[in-house]
Amino acid sequence: MARLVDLAAHAIRPIASGIRLFMRPALRLWRLASLRSQTKGSIPVTTQFDGPVTALGRGEVRLGANCRLGRDVLFDTSEGGKIELGNRVRVNSGGVIVANVRITIGDDTLIGEYVSIRDANHGSASGDLIRTQALIAAEISVGRDVWIGRGCCLLAGVTIGNGAVVGANSVVTRDVPSNSIYAGVPAKQIGSRTPGTTACLTIPT
């Protein structure tokens, strides 16, 4: 029986490959149309999709040319904020970008899997329920040619300069200068980008 199943799977394989090849452009158009229908703003036809992408809210999402979005990326502008990505930005699977005011990401920036970028925090004054307190929002700006490692969290009000690197699983609570390497919780400078060197995207112990 196992032999028959194996032979059947082998025979069907080229058919399945042909169907997948045929369906790929149609699936890409479907995802493009779906994202456009979910948000105001601009989603170019050059946008690439690795899987389903969701947009929530009444704000705007604007993408530059040739951006690539991983599976299960979420854009949220529920408070009327604006999200702007430059050209050739890569947001990997599970990325969450939530704008209450404005989040901008420059050209050629790479964002690793499961990165959270949120420009607002709950108030936390004593005596009141945290969930009932007003959100405190401040713009986030990420420059050009930035590499944000897997699992990072960028908090409200931070600016990341051009060419910076943020190590995996870091929490960014302050501005990151251009061409610097930051890592840790909270993220601190651990180095600078220089020609011929390789950045280590893990938190130092």
Going across the sheet that includes 102-105, the strands are 40-42, 60-63, 82-85, 102-105, 140-142, 159-160
Counting residues of the chain whose pLDDT is more than 90, the rounded percentage is 66
What's the rounded Cα separation, in Å, for the pair 123 and 22? 51
Between 131 and 97, whose confidence is greater?
97
pLDDT at 126: 81
**Residue 89 pLDDT > 80:** yes
pLDDT at 117: 98
In the chain the domains, ranked by start, together with CATH numbers, are: 39-192 (2.160.10.10)
pLDDT at 124: 80
Banded model confidence at residue 56, pLDDT cuts 50, 70, 90: very high
Catalytic residue among 13, 20, 122, 174: 122
10 is catalytic: no
- Contact between residue 199 and residue 191 where contact means Cβ atoms under 8 Å apart: yes
